[in-house]
Amino acid sequence: MKIDVTERAVKWFEDELALEKGDSVRFFGKTYGNTEVHEGFSIGMSVDQPDSEPLAQKEVNEVTYFAGKEDEWFFSGYNLEIDLDTKLEEPVYHFQETQS
């Protein structure tokens, strides 16, 4: 799994969550909602530090964006791209199948 975060999404996270250098944002699967590839599950996020080696991570501006190994069931077989929906002014998550 790979995580990509667009520049406009990074700006949103930094502004809306008041992120500082050394902070981390965790993405995880949660019940209710839908994604492009999951029925009945959506993505949650929190400002949180990894408690073990992450499943995937991306560092931008000294902030780490990551998914924990405990959520491998949710992200298995996909890369995650985090962008900003400019109409709704909130993050939007895109799943891309990984190459086997």
pLDDT(99) > 80 = no
With beta carbons less than 8 A apart as the criterion, state whether 3 and 93 touch.
no
Measured CA to CA, the distance from residue 22 to residue 26 in angstroms comes to 13
Question: What six digits make up the tokens of 24?
Answer: 């981390």
Boundaries of domain holding 88: 3-97
pLDDT reported for residue 52? 84
7-62: pLDDT as tens digits: 999 999 999 999 999 999 999 998 777 777 777 788 999 999 888 889 999 999 99
Here the CATH number for the domain that contains residue 7 is 2.60.300.12
The Cα 57–Cα 45 span in angstroms is 14
Number of domains in the chain: 1
14 three-class SS: helix
Over residues 49-87, the pLDDT tens digits come to 888 889 999 999 999 999 999 999 999 999 999 999 999
